[in-house]
Amino acid sequence: MTKLTLASYPHLLGFERLDQLLERTAKSSDGYPPFNIEQTSENTYRITLAVAGFSESDLSITVEDRQLVIRGRQRDDTEGRVFLHRGIAARQFQRSFVLADGVEVGEAQLENGLLHLDLSQPRPDAVVQTIEINKGKRG
């Protein structure tokens, strides 16, 4: 069976990297932590992750190769403690979001166990380019 990719379609030129991004996104995480994505205006978005128990120093936010990566790692502070029941695990995570060209990551806020990340995508200027046809011989 042949795998269809965007590069398989002759009218989609230069989309090879998009194939790679789609494949990388399909492999991402196990569903933890849960998150919301909301459109806050025509050109702005907000990603909210439920990160209860994580402090600012436990979290890192980076943009790597057009991919927003949020990582969380809690310190193990259980030494000397005896748990009768442990339902809250100190769990690490990595959550990734592929960003379109031009998407900018703005402010990040941590409040009440929710990490908010604001993103914007300025509307690109419409560009019309006229290509002149040269007369003459090829070669």
Q: Which helix (H) or strand (E) holds 95?
A: strand 93-98
CB neighbours of 55 closer than 8 A, spacing ≥ 6? 110
pLDDT tops 90 at residue 44: yes
Contact call for residues 71 and 93 (beta carbons, < 8 A) = yes
pTM to 2 decimal places: 0.71
Backbone angles phi, psi at 58, to 5 degrees: -85, -10
Question: What is the reported pLDDT for 79?
Answer: 83
Question: What is the reported pLDDT for 24?
Answer: 64
Q: How far apart are CA 20 and CA 11, in angstroms?
A: 18
**Arithmetic mean of pLDDT over the chain:** 85
Query: Pairing state of beta strands 59-64 and 44-50?
Result: unpaired
Domain ranges of the chain: 1-30, 31-120
Question: What is the reported pLDDT for 43?
Answer: 92
CATH number (2.60.40.790, 4.10.93.10, 2.40.50.110, 2.60.120.200) of 31-120 reads 2.60.40.790
pLDDT tops 80 at residue 78: no
Q: What is the dihedral of CA 16, 18, 22, 23, to 10 degrees?
A: 30
